[in-house]
Amino acid sequence: MSPANDKPLVGIIMGSNSDWPTMQAAAKILKEFGVPYEARVVSAHRTPDLMFAYADTARSRGLKAIIAGAGGAAHLPGMVAAKTTLPVLGVPVQSKALSGQDSLLSIVQMPKGIPVATFAIGEAGAANAGLFAVALLANEDVALAKKLEEFRTRQTQTVLDMTLDEQ
Ligand code: RP5
């Protein structure tokens, strides 16, 4: 899945299609900025061979970053990071049992040597992972950096324009 037919620069992967309502927030940001992406279900424990192949070939296929979302014992981002030197952005999906605390700790507590940039639990984290991927790409892309500046300016203006109802 990609907004254009361009080669994807960012891979969005997730452990299950039940993660997609959350991970769509990352896709929405990339689409808004015109960054070509792909989105796929890749499970660390249910499709381990696919996960290895995905991570192994990610750089040679032209990806610049991988956004990986998972819930529960969320080992997908860490395992993918173990198999590629691309930046891996981890999104803890809100789990039913522990509201995503388990996902967060599984992703954030990587032992030294294999980093995963970890974002907030749920949709906010997915959107911020999308924005972070844009910021990474913007280092080498002046037009994208300008779009990011404009996004921030609009966001600031939205808050400056906020009014409160009379009490
Ligand atoms: C994880 O288990 C997925 O990332 C998902 O968050 C969670 C539940 O998966 P399903 O049972 O909905 O497929 O692997």
Q: What is the amino acid identity at position 146?
A: K
- Check pLDDT > 50 for residue 147: yes
Question: Is the CB of residue 100 below 6 angstroms from any atom belonging to ligand 1?
Answer: no
Alpha-carbon span 6 to 63, nearest angstrom:
12
Long-range contacts of 152-156 (CB under 8 A, 24+ apart): none
| This model's pTM is above 0.90 | yes
Structure letter (DSSP) for residue 110: P
Alpha-carbon span 108 to 71, nearest angstrom:
13
- The CATH class for the domain spanning 10-160 reads alpha beta
Alpha-carbon span 116 to 110, nearest angstrom:
7
pLDDT of residue 1: 46
Question: Is the CB of residue 16 below 6 angstroms from any atom belonging to ligand 1?
Answer: yes
Protein residue with least CA distance to atom 13, ligand 1:
16
Question: Is the CB of residue 90 below 6 angstroms from any atom belonging to ligand 1?
Answer: no
- Check pLDDT > 80 for residue 104: yes
pLDDT of residue 149: 98
User: What atom in ligand 1 is closest to the CA of residue 71?
Assistant: 6
Could you tell me the pLDDT band of residue 72, with boundaries at 50, 70 and 90? very high
Q: Provide the 3-class DSSP secondary structure of residue 91.
A: strand
Q: Using an 8 Å Cβ cutoff, are 144 and 71 in contact? A: no
**Encoded tokens for 13:** 């992967």
Q: Provide the 3-class DSSP secondary structure of residue 10.
A: strand
Number of helices and strands in the chain (H, E): 6, 5
Mean pLDDT score across all residues of the chain? 96
Closest CA to 65 of 129, 145, 9, 126: 9
Alpha-carbon span 59 to 160, nearest angstrom:
41
- Check pLDDT > 50 for residue 64: yes
Could you tell me the pLDDT band of residue 25, with boundaries at 50, 70 and 90? very high
Other beta carbons within 10 angstroms of residue 92's beta carbon come to 28
Question: Is the CB of residue 123 below 6 angstroms from any atom belonging to ligand 1?
Answer: no
State the average pLDDT over residues 131-141.
98
pLDDT of residue 81: 98
